[in-house]
Structure 1
Amino acid sequence: MSGGKARRGSGTTLIIGAMTLFLTIAFVQLLALMSPGPDFFFVSQMAISRSRREAMAGVAGIALGVVVWAALALLGLQILLHRLAWLGRLLAVAGGLYLCWMGVQMIRGALKPAGPSHAVALESNSRAALRRGFLTNLANPKAAIYFASIFSAIVGNSVGAGTRWGLLVLVSVETFVWFAVVAAIFGLPAIRRGYLRARRWIDGAAGAVFIAFGLTLVFDRRLS
């Protein structure tokens, strides 16, 4: 009888511990998502300048990138980056160069006059948007640092496989929902009309922000 009570008590403790872990990860993940970075600027720029379908494809790409980072973290990314410091530096340089390239493309687009061909291009190419969202997330080594440090430290090494799968789903879905909300807000008709009036300035500013992020990642030694 006492053994049954002990088992029930142990099971209750495990459930409470798992719930606490999930709530903690959900809260910390939300704070990380709310911090402006390349993902946020990518989604907002896509939402105001492209079709809703393309913007959501970009959101899905970012969520897929988070799936990769979270899976690597749960498989021991922290240990890998600690043992191979050069890998972290390589990620920073490669990611920074990609963000700089995206920024240059945005500025080049801002300098081109808007025309019928440009309007047609905005209504399609969801596959390219998915790929760009995915690469934008992977190109940011701050995501690697977050998942290899804060995320890994909170999760620890004692959680079971089922809990790890649940956490992977949690951060992926939370990322998708957050950026879907961001895309919906920036895709509002009033905001899109404002964008059309100031397209060159907005695209140019977005490009400059991406280049600034990229150069920071390339030259900031603290990210290695």
Structure 2
Amino acid sequence: MEIQDDRKSTCRAPTPIFSYTGGRPDRNSESVQNHREKILHQITNHPIFIHNLQAGFHMSELLAVATITILAVISPGPDFAMVTRNSYAFGARTGLISALGIGCGVQVHVMYTVFGIAIIIFSSPTLFTIMKLSGAGYLIFMGYQSFRNRAPVALGETPRHAPSGWEAFRMGFFTNALNPKTMLFVVATYTQVVRTDAPMMLNFAYGLFMSVAHIIWFGIVAFFFSSPRMRCRLLAHQSMVDKVIGLALMLLGVSLLFTHHPMEGGN
């Protein structure tokens, strides 16, 4: 007695990714070419293919943004000098709050870039010059304060002239918010790396990554220079270290004056 296998009636062949119903092509070259073009069209327009292609673009874009951001963050600049001075002179708390201010300052450039306001600044040399002069003046002012500082700091004691939490945050915030080089870094990343049709949420995610990268890096800097051993070494030569950092901040401020507007074609 034969037993019928009901599974034959329920098993189905897997749905192909693409199907071509045009029949077998002729052997002449034109028909073969048309046959290949139709198959290629079906493959490239299939949802799975499009999804994988978009995922690859997003991954390469993310890696590019991450690489550029990390290289920009770890390169020495006025934010590094400011966090170093606040950390060894006033402790880890002041340095960490300054690092938080630096990260939030980056968001200023991210916001007006994402919303397209950067076009106004790029098209107006006057606005760019105002921003450049404000950033340079602020760095020169902070550098001058550090250079002329004569108030000694003893390890384990809170200096009377230590900045409050708001003052430490404000120093970090304005150091980056008024820095035209930070603006150029953010704008260049969005215009040269990020796709113009990228979703708004993805643009904000990139901006959040930039801020978090700044906070993490300068948080590490703050912990390093506020460690008891490092503070002991630096405070032993406080007058000289303050003058070196103050001079570096003033020189960085002066260097901002030579930052060219993008429309001028300068470096």
Same fold (TM over 0.5): yes
Q: Deviations over 1:120-164 (max 9, x none)?
A: 337661111001100111121111111222443111312111211
Distance in 2, matches of 1:136 and 1:48, equals: 18
- Give the structure 2 partner of residue 193 of structure 1: 232
CA RMSD after TM alignment:
2.3
Counterpart of 1:121 (choices 160, 168, 181) is: 160
Describe the shift of the 1:114–1:60 C-alpha distance in structure 2 as closer, same or farther (beyond 3 A): closer
Q: Deviations over 1:106-129 (max 9, x none)?
A: 1222x334579x833376611110
Distance in 2, matches of 1:72 and 1:78, equals: 6
- Give the structure 2 partner of residue 204 of structure 1: 243
Query: Quick one: percent identity of the two aligned structures?
Result: 24
TM-score scaled by structure 1? 0.89
Distance in 2, matches of 1:49 and 1:114, equals: 7
| RCO comparison, higher one (Cα < 8 Å, 6+) | 1
- Give the structure 2 partner of residue 182 of structure 1: 221
Where 2:193 maps in the other structure, the secondary structure is helix
Counterpart of 1:139 (choices 167, 178, 182) is: 178
CA contact (8 A) 1:78 1:149 kept: no
CA contact (8 A) 1:103 1:210 kept: yes
- Give the structure 2 partner of residue 17 of structure 1: 57
Matches within 5 A, 1:153-164: 153-164=192-203
Larger relative helix fraction? 1
Distance in 1, matches of 2:259 and 2:159, equals: 42
Matches within 5 A, 1:54-73: 54-73=94-113
- AA aligned to 2:132 is A
Where 1:120 maps in the other structure, the secondary structure is coil
Where 2:230 maps in the other structure, the secondary structure is helix
CA contact (8 A) 1:78 1:152 kept: no
- AA aligned to 2:196 is N
Unaligned runs of 5+ in 1: none
Structure 2 residue 68 is the aligned partner of structure 1 residue 28: yes
- Give the structure 1 partner of residue 260 of structure 2: 222
TM-score scaled by structure 2? 0.75
Structure 2 residue 129 is the aligned partner of structure 1 residue 89: yes
